[in-house]
Amino acid sequence: MEDFQGDELYRENILDHYRHPHNTGVMEQCTHRAREVNPLCGDEIEIFLRFDEVGKAANVSFVGQGCAISQAVVSMLTDWVKGKSREELARADETYVRQWLGAPVSVSREKCAFLGLRALRRAIDINN
């Protein structure tokens, strides 16, 4: 077998976010929060948002555990969320996630990849 040269899905950028996730922690003063779990693998993400008086996401954080894909994506997602309005956030969909990952994600790993997105969407849809 030829030497296997890493994996395009597990680039340094992804692994960096996984090891050193941005915007972590519980936010007591949030205006919106939501939790998503993937019961198949036990991955879980809870996302916290605080919108300011002009309706922008002034602060965002998450707590979670799971695979590198789910945790790296939510870390990147929270970076993106900052300063966006609710309408802008509502536009986030799976194509955003694929762009952040920068590599194809197999069908069996889509649930991992989209877990943070689902938490974000739930947070802005259900809580007001």
Partner 1 sequence: MCAFYKKSRRFNGIVNPMNTEQIKKDFSIFSHAARSGKPLVYLDNAATSQTPDEVLEAMNAYYQKYRSNIHRGVYAIAERATSAYEGARLAVAEFIGAGDPGEIIFTRGTTEGLNILASRLTLGLSAGDEVAVSEMEHHANLVPWMQAVKARGLTLRFLPVRKDGRLDIEAARAIIGPRVKIVSLCHASNALGLVNPVHEIADMAHAHGAVVVVDGAQSVPHLPVNVEELGADFFAFSGHKMFGPTGIGVLWGKKALLEKMEPFLYGGDMIQEVTLDGATWTDVPWKFEGGTPPIAEAIGLAAAVRYLRRLGMENVVRHERELTRYALERMSALGGVMLYPAGDAPDAPDRIGVIAFNIEKVHPHDAASILDRHGIAVRAGHHCAMPLLRKLGINFSLRASFSAYNTREDVDLLIAAIADAQKIFHV
Number of residues located near partner 1, criterion CB under 8 A = 19
Instruction: Please select the residue that binds partner 1; options are 6, 20, 28, 91, rule is CB under 8 A.
Output: 6
Instruction: Please select the residue that binds partner 1; options are 60, 112, 119, 123, rule is CB under 8 A.
Output: 112
Residues 20-32 as b/e (b if ≥16 CB within 10 A, e otherwise) read: ebbbeeebeebbb
Instruction: Please select the residue that binds partner 1; options are 25, 29, 40, 53, rule is CB under 8 A.
Output: 40
Beta bridge pairs of residue 33? 48
Can residue 1 be called a binding residue for partner 1 (CB under 8 A)? yes
Can residue 42 be called a binding residue for partner 1 (CB under 8 A)? yes
Instruction: Please select the residue that binds partner 1; options are 57, 69, 76, 92, rule is CB under 8 A.
Output: 69
Q: Which is nearer to partner 1, 6 or 25 (CB)?
A: 6
Residues 68-100 as b/e (b if ≥16 CB within 10 A, e otherwise) read: ebbbbbbbbbbebbeebeeeebeebeeeebbeb
Can residue 104 be called a binding residue for partner 1 (CB under 8 A)? no
Q: Please tell me the distance from the alpha carbon of residue 84 to that of residue 80, in angstroms, as a whole number.
A: 8
* Token pair 């194509």: residue: 95
Query: Least distance (Å) from partner 1 to the CB of residue 91?
Result: 28
